[in-house]
Chain A
Amino acid sequence: MPVPISQAYTVARYVIGQKLAGRKRYPLVLMLEPLFQCNLECAGCGKIQYPDHVLKRRLSPEQCFKAVEECGVPIVSIPGGEPLIHPEIQQIVEGLIARRKYVYLCTNALLLKRRLDLFTPSKYLTFSIHLDGLEPEHDHAVCREGTYKTATEAAREALRRGFRVTTNTTLFEGADPVRVRAFFDEMTAMGVEGMMMSPGYSYSHAPDQQHFLVRNRTRELFSKILSDPNPKWAFNQSPLFLEFLMGRQDFECTPWGMVTYNIFGWQRPCYLLDEGYAPTFRQLLEETEWSRYGYHSGNPKCANCMVHSGYEATAVDATFSSFKHFARTVKLTLFGFKASRPPDPGFKFKPPLDGTATTGSSDPARRGCSALQPREREASGVKG
């Protein structure tokens, strides 16, 4: 079981509660960014490209708790920047745990070993360590040698002390499925609780036909990685989402499923695109033109996107929306991807319904590591 039963139960109860309450749009995860400052400087990472006075700002613990209470999610993911730099990260994590939130502290783990004493092992706290592959691939992705070694040492120490540890990996076009599988074997041998992966976000002005190619190449990559998997691999994410990446499910994005809050406010419309901010969660939900986003909106920025932050919530929602999807999730959880249909070599994602919705012009060509991609000017290639 990749997540504790109590966590699976909490999520199930929350989703069913939202459905019974008739809520059409509800978030599952809060991406809480208490700061943008980082101790890495990955090329292309839009999160750290701000003037100094912005990078120096932090959300206070009270602001973090208020955001969590406003949106009511059961899971809080704390990315950044690097959250372990935040001087009050201990208070933030403790306050969230006191509110019985499942906290995923997303870290590059460079400071983790030194900061472990600040935290107490708990079923509510998971260190989600950013690793984009084996040593050469990861060090290349984050533009600094030695990070893989430091991060894996810290992960081992956290595991030794009884913390929950997962990895999160962003895969870009050109990733070698054989190397990715070797990386999963290595993480499994290290003893992590589960692994998370997502394709990087990519956007370009390329004609539509090419958009579909990118999407279908993503499917091919994930099919190669996940077909005939090592039975010991455990993924800390919805098996339906992994099936979506393999092209065995066709979902639409739910950008409100993983909402983002940071020093600017509630980010519209999703973790990746940065098209403005709402001061309250309610205004985010009520005043965002949601029909302009998602694959079938025809928005070119969404054409290639298959990221975790857009589609995982869809997969979780689907699990509790039909018996078919529920049974499939149970089957895949119990028996793994061997229980999944064999890959269909002829599968192609359907083109979007129309190509009319746009959100303005953009400059393409940018990629990042674990961070995301605010603002149009630097789309392409970030984790979801």
Chain B
Amino acid sequence: MDHDFSIFRRLTDFGAWLLRRGLPFIFRPSDPMSDLTEAIHKAYNYRGDVTVTLKDGVEIVGFLFNQEPRATSRCPEAFVEMLIAGSDEKKLIPVSKIARIELTGEDSAAGKSWEEWIVKQEAKKKAPENPKPV
């Protein structure tokens, strides 16, 4: 009887473990708010233009230069701010209106770090000055 109980307990323990650890891996319930926070963070640190799609379907393209995670005197909720490409406009967008953000412009920082420059210089130094024609 003891033995049976132990198997039963192991089964229920495994069931509980599966619910706790396994199911989230299988179903990956997404938290739209934390996904959006992550997307804002990425967009803010991106050195190119982004496209913000609002919940009403409107798309805004520009450089996301400001993020404010708290309510301030400017806006009673979290917001981002963009410089709109091709206009002088600065647009403040409450986070609650955003459906998604994509990094759509060219990354102006790509390949331009100090470390990458040093590697290129080293490679230049090592390369023969007048490579012989093959």
Give me the interface of A with B, judged by CB distance under 8 Å: 41, 43-44, 46, 48-51, 53-54, 57, 143, 263-265, 276-277, 279, 283, 287, 360-361, 363, 365-368, 375-378, 381
Contact = CB atoms under 8 A, between A and B. Distances in A.
Given A44-B114, A283-B73, A368-B114, A49 B47 contact: yes
A51 B113 contact: no
Interface of B: 41, 44-45, 47-49, 63, 65-68, 72-74, 81, 83, 85-86, 105-106, 108-109, 112-118
A227 to B, nearest CB: 29
A265 B66 contact: yes
B72 A283 contact: yes
Given A49-B109, A276-B68, A54 B114 contact: no
A53 B85 contact: yes
Contacts of B117: 43-44, 143
A280 to B, nearest CB: 9
B74 A43 contact: no
B83 A53 contact: yes
A49 B107 CA distance: 8
A118 to B, nearest CB: 26
Nearest to A44: B114
A51 B108 contact: yes
A50 B83 CA distance: 11
24 contacts: A44-B113, A44-B115, A46-B109, A48-B108, A49-B108, A49-B112, A50-B47, A51-B85, A51-B105, A51-B106, A53-B63, A57-B83, A276-B66, A276-B67, A279-B74, A283-B74, A287-B72, A363-B45, A366-B115, A367-B114, A375-B45, A375-B47, A377-B45, A378-B113
Nearest to B92: A279
Contacts of B106: 51
